[in-house]
Structure 1
């Protein structure tokens, strides 16, 4: 996929209508031009999973909390994979929580729509590759 078709495929796959929250212009606001493209992300005030784990490092997390974290993450990855999206940078820095401590996947910089030919999806990527490139 290249150009616009790739963008449409990626956004279309990740933005299932059941997951969309489309803001409607209120009285007095101008409508968004039809050719405008923007991404509106949910505000997740709970910070990263890494921050949460670091803050609670002295305490043993309750079993119920651990199970909920695992379920949230597995549901997020399962949803992405069902839409043929590979995140490629799964780490605690890229997992954010909302006000109710529901964990959600974030940072899709290196995410890709799954290739038909699996050999095209090989290679190093993610944070390690970005910060530890060979020169």
Structure 2
């Protein structure tokens, strides 16, 4: 049996091990299925992406991403979703289907917030969720992993209230998949440097976390733009138009395209947030990524230490 056909046969055998029982998500990054592992009987989540391959039929960037995910797995972090298996099967000479098998968690943060009875989550629950979210993020950042797509749908919450970050380290794999599919990705949690197509690093995740923090109080997103420019406009309505010195030099969208705005008090947009929470939110939603608080410093912020 040739190398490629042996590879395909092994992948088919792996895929047969998992029996899909329900579709639990979909969108730009492909479909997510709840499935049952025929060997153990436990439920898992299957995420498949189509990736382009090189001349030898290997999806190299995907191999690197999966190796990274597997390396992080050995730490068994409580706030990181577990990657349990990887199946790959060639579809064509130029394309391979990669299926990632994760532990299954029944709900994401979006669903959790929607299910919360009025008037919303208690202050101590928001603080607990934030501690866990930032703890998971600090773990990723300490291992030089940038999530790049943090949003409520990518944050899982177990029935016991345990937070687990999902879909981290997959951004490059997804960008390859997105070249093959019509894509609509939400802008609402994107940092200004990403919207401006400037250089970026770990602070992009802190911005997204700030947006999610505000949403836990509001139970609706803080910034709902319809395009990159519209999203930036919505952001500046709250944080004010940044100074010329803070505006990145390497971007096509210039500061003069936006009307002058003064910052508004955060409690106007995020009612019920306490003063320490407001201070943390401000530090997370700093326009300048270099001034944005780090995940490690956020963990030690006074808001996290407060008792209800």
Q: TM-score, normalised by structure 1?
A: 0.58
Assess, with a 3 A threshold, how the Cα gap between structure 1 residues 49 and 120 changes in structure 2: closer, same or farther.
closer
Assess, with a 3 A threshold, how the Cα gap between structure 1 residues 6 and 71 changes in structure 2: closer, same or farther.
same
Compute the displacement of 1:40 (Å): 3.9
Assess, with a 3 A threshold, how the Cα gap between structure 1 residues 55 and 7 changes in structure 2: closer, same or farther.
closer
Point out where structure 1 has 5 or more consecutive residues left out of the alignment: 24-36, 113-118, 122-131
Q: Distance in 1 between matches of 2:83 and 2:149?
A: 25
Q: Distance in 2 between matches of 1:85 and 1:103?
A: 18
- In the TM superposition, 1:1-135 aligns within 5 A as 2-3=60-61, 6-7=64-65, 9-19=67-77, 39-45=100-106, 47-56=107-116, 58-108=118-168, 109-110=170-171, 119=199
Bigger relative contact order, structure 1 or 2 (CA pairs below 8 A, ≥6 apart): 1
Q: Distance in 1 between matches of 2:200 and 2:123?
A: 39
Q: Distance in 2 between matches of 1:39 and 1:102?
A: 22
Alpha-carbon contact 2:133-2:165 (below 8 Å) kept: yes
Q: Distance in 1 between matches of 2:131 and 2:151?
A: 15
Alpha-carbon contact 1:88-1:110 (below 8 Å) kept: yes
Q: Distance in 2 between matches of 1:5 and 1:22?
A: 15
Q: Distance in 1 between matches of 2:101 and 2:111?
A: 24
Alpha-carbon contact 2:73-2:83 (below 8 Å) kept: no
- Which structure features the higher share of strand residues? 2
After TM superposition, the structure 1 stretch with the greater mean CA deviation from structure 2, 79-88 or 13-22, is: 13-22
Q: CA RMSD in A?
A: 3.7
Point out where structure 2 has 5 or more consecutive residues left out of the alignment: 1-59, 86-97, 174-198, 202-226, 229-308
Q: Helix, strand or coil: the match of 2:141?
A: helix
Provide the aligned length of Structure 1 versus Structure 2.
107
Alpha-carbon contact 1:48-1:95 (below 8 Å) kept: yes
